[in-house]
Amino acid sequence: MKKIAILASGSGSNAENIILFFQHHPFIRIDSVWTNKSDAFVLERAERLNVEAHVFTKNELAQTDQLLVEFKKRKIDLIVLAGFLLLLPPKFVREFQVVNIHPALLPAYGGKGMYGARVHQAVIDNKEKESGITIHLVDEQYDHGKILVQAKCSIDPDETPETLAEKIHQLEMEHFPKAIEKLLKKVPKVN
Ligand code: GAR
């Protein structure tokens, strides 16, 4: 069995979608959900879906090896960032395969502080004709690393951050679990 740890900071709609997608999967299973926000809605989703969930502090992530050691102990094969808003310390990226989803067509509209409605507002302000999602491997920089999948949507003349968010949400639901599955078919079991 290949094991996934999901890191999320917010609502967790991607986390939920991934959990449901892999619920009865023959060789991939969601080991656990991890969040840096004790009030994140992802915790309620995890509980409802019977997935183990944990809260950690920014300090535990950045200043200690607690999480890293825990992931190694659990023999995690892939870390999935599903709306995780902290920068993962470099040692995680060196020890594990990590994949992220971003609600825009990177390398445009990425970087620190670019998440949620801010991304969509910037795209609309710049009068872009299209936006989309990027699923990419994570390296030591924000929203950077080898791009695995991009999917696009058009921007209507009366587009708002809310309507664009809904289009992006649909793309995320459709593509993220499949991209994770494809990636895990290739990752050799290291532990
Ligand atoms: C998603 O739209 C994801 O692309 C974005 O956060 C949202 C999380 O939604 N990630 C980033 O902006 C990363 N830079 P969710 O909590 O409902 O899954």
Q: What's the start-to-end Cα distance of the chain, in Å?
A: 11
Burial of 173 (0-12, 13-18, 19+ CB in 10 A): middle
Nearest to 15 by CA among 38, 36, 35: 35
Domain boundaries, the chain: 2-186
Catalytic site residue from 25, 54, 102, 169: 102
CATH superfamily of 2-186: Formyl transferase, N-terminal domain (3.40.50.170)
Reported pTM: 0.95
Residue 115: the pLDDT is 86
- Strand partners for 32: 5
Pick the atom of ligand 1 nearest to 10's CA: 16
Residue 111: the pLDDT is 86
Structure token digits, residue 96: 């594990």
Residue 187: the pLDDT is 65
Pick the atom of ligand 1 nearest to 142's CA: 14
Residue 181: the pLDDT is 97
Residue 28's H or E segment, with its range, is: strand 28-35
CA 58 – ligand 1 centroid, Å: 18
3-state secondary structure of 183: helix
State the amino acid at position 187 in one-letter form: V
What is the 8-class DSSP label of residue 51?
-
Binding site membership of 173 for ligand 1 (Cβ less than 6 Å) = no
Residue 188: the pLDDT is 64
The CA-atom distances, in angstroms, between 25 and each of 30, 61, 117 are 10, 30, 33
Residue 112: the pLDDT is 81
Residues in the chain: 191
Residue 190: the pLDDT is 53
The CA-atom distances, in angstroms, between 147 and each of 122, 129, 137 are 21, 21, 6
Among this protein's residues, is 24 annotated catalytic?
Answer: no
Binding site membership of 16 for ligand 1 (Cβ less than 6 Å) = no
- Strand partners for 136: 100, 147
3-state SS of 81-143 is: ECCCCCCCCHHHHHHCEEEEEECCCCCCCCCCCCCCHHHHHHHHHCCCCEEEEEEEECCCCCC
CA 29 – ligand 1 centroid, Å: 21
Structure token digits, residue 174: 């459709």
Decide if 35 contacts 54 (C-beta within 8 A).
yes
Digits of tens for pLDDT over the chain (191 positions)? 999 999 999 999 999 999 999 999 999 999 999 999 999 999 999 999 999 999 999 999 999 999 999 999 999 999 999 999 898 999 999 999 999 999 999 999 998 888 889 999 999 999 999 999 999 999 888 788 999 999 999 999 999 999 999 999 999 999 999 999 999 998 665 55
